[in-house]
Amino acid sequence: NRVSTLVLKGEDATRTAMAKTVGLPLAIMVRLIIQNEVFLTGVHIPVMTQIYEPVLKELELYGVNFMEEEG
C-alpha cells in the first residue's frame, strides 16, 4: 500500500498552489507534445508512465513533488 502526499503553498496571490498544480502540468504536457517527446493521439487520463513520469520529473524543478511512503 503506497501513500503519496503533496504539501504545497502558493508564493503569492498570483502564483498560487492551484496555479502550479493545474497550469504547470498542462504546460509541460503541451511542450512535450510539441517537441514530439510524447506520441499519443486522442484524450488520455494521466495513468500511463509515458505521460506522468516526465511531467512529475519536471514539476520537481518547480518545487512540486510528492512524498512517497509504503504503508
Averaged over 25-39, what is the pLDDT? 93
| Residues 37-71 pLDDT 10s | 998 888 888 899 999 999 999 999 999 999 999 97
Query: What proportion of the chain, given as a percentage, has pLDDT over 70?
Result: 100
pTM of the predicted model as reported, rounded to 2 decimal places:
0.81
CA 17 – CA 50 distance, rounded (Å): 25
Query: Could you tell me where the beta strands, DSSP code E, fall in the chain?
Result: 2-5, 67-70
- What value does the mean pLDDT of the chain take? 92
pLDDT (mean) for 19-47: 91
